Amino acid sequence: LILFQKGQTPTPPPFEIFFCFGEEWPDRKPKEKKLITVQVVPVAARLLLEMFSGELSWSGDSIPLQISHPDLKDKVVEQFKELHQLWQNQQRLPQPGPTPW
C-alpha cells in the first residue's frame, strides 16, 4: 500500500480474501463456479486504499452483501435432506420378523 501511495507500483495491493468450502481450491474452475465461496473485504484495508487514492466515499450502507439465488444444486441438496429424513424415519420403525413358511 505504501509503494502504491508513493507511486512506485501502478496497481493497489489486493485486499479481498476468498474462502472456498466443500471443494478443492485453487484448481482450474473459476471461483464463480464453486459451490460455496465467501469474499471477505477488510473494511480497514479498503478505507486505507481509498484514503491514499483520494476516493474516500465510504459509508456503512455501501458494504454490499450478496446471497446466492437458489438453483439446481440447492434443490438437489434439499432432496437429499428429504431422503435422509425418510431413511431415518424408516430405521426407527419396528422391523417385521421373518415370515414362517
Q: pLDDT tens digits, residue range 65-100?
A: 556 666 766 676 677 677 777 877 877 777 666 666
Domain that holds residue 45: 1-57
- Residue at 11: amino acid letter: T
Instruction: Name the H helices within the chain.
Output: 2-5, 43-53, 72-92
What is the pLDDT, as a whole number, of residue 95?
61
pTM for the model: 0.44
Tell me whether residue 48 is in a domain. yes
| Residue 59 · residue 47 · CB < 8 Å | no
| Integer Cα distance of 44 and 73 in angstroms | 35
| Exposure class string for 87-100: b at 16+ Cβ within 10 A, else e | eeeeeeeeeeeeee
The pLDDT assigned to 57 comes to 56
**Do residues 65 and 41 lie in contact, with contact meaning Cβ atoms separated by under 8 Å?**
no
| Residue 17 located in a structural domain | yes
The pLDDT value given to residue 61: 53
Question: pLDDT digit string (tens) for 17-69?
Answer: 999 998 888 888 888 888 899 999 888 787 777 777 766 554 545 555 556 66
User: What is the pLDDT at residue 99?
Assistant: 62
Amino acid at site 25 = W
Is 80 inside a domain boundary? no
Number of structural domains (the chain) is: 1
pLDDT value, residue 100: 62
